[in-house]
Amino acid sequence: MKKPTAILWICLSLLLIGAQATKSTEASAAASGVSKALIQQILDAWSTMDTNKITPFYSQSPENVFFDIAPMQYAGWPEWAKGAQSLFSHYQSFKLSLTGEPTIHNQGNWAWATYLWHVDAVRKDGKTETFDGRDTAIWQKVGSSWLTVHEHASVPVPEAATGKH
């Protein structure tokens, strides 16, 4: 009788250890937070030019501040969505993509990242635009979602304007 009991305890112990390892792995995956893939998903949502597809990635809190290229500041996501829709009304297409590797910091329920992006756009009059920009974003984990609570996008001043060659 002692052998089956010992084997049963060993099996139960291994099951518990396996369950704990799985739980730990799942917790690590959830805690890993913001990723390059998430950032690209957000840029892909912006590329649709449909604020309904962009909205799920942003906190709806009215006290959030978002800095953009023009105008410089929006108070809350609804104001930014309205500004974005106005901007998009001038374009046939607007494609955003990451350039290089983002620098991402995950800390509990908060994350922040800096990254560079590129835009290929076609205006409604057929003229094309391409430019590069930079972004700093801060996310907060709410439930199972990472929501942007602050973002600061900017475009460098052209070298000709800086006097550097």
Strand pairing class (145-154; 65-67): parallel
Please state, rounded to an integer, the average pLDDT across all residues of the chain.
83
pLDDT at 158: 77
Nearest Cα to Cα of residue 135 among 110, 162, 104, 89: 104
- Name the band, by pLDDT with cuts 50, 70 and 90, for residue 54: very high
Confidence check: pLDDT of 52 > 90: yes
Question: Could you read off the pLDDT of 145-158 as tens digits, one per residue?
Answer: 999 999 999 998 87
Least confident interval from 23-32, 43-52, 111-120 = 23-32
Handedness of CA 116, 127, 94, 68 (dihedral sign): positive
Sheet bearing 65-67, strands edge to edge: 73-75, 65-67, 145-154, 128-142, 110-123, 91-107
Q: Cα torsion at 65, 71, 72, 75 (round to 10°)?
A: -10
Question: Could you read off the pLDDT of 64-96 as tens digits, one per residue?
Answer: 999 987 778 899 999 999 989 999 999 999 999
Three-state SS at 92: strand
Confidence check: pLDDT of 43 > 90: yes
pLDDT at 162: 57
For residue 114, which phi and psi values (nearest 5 degrees)?
-125, 140
pLDDT at 69: 79
Query: 16 with 24: CB under 8 angstroms?
Result: no
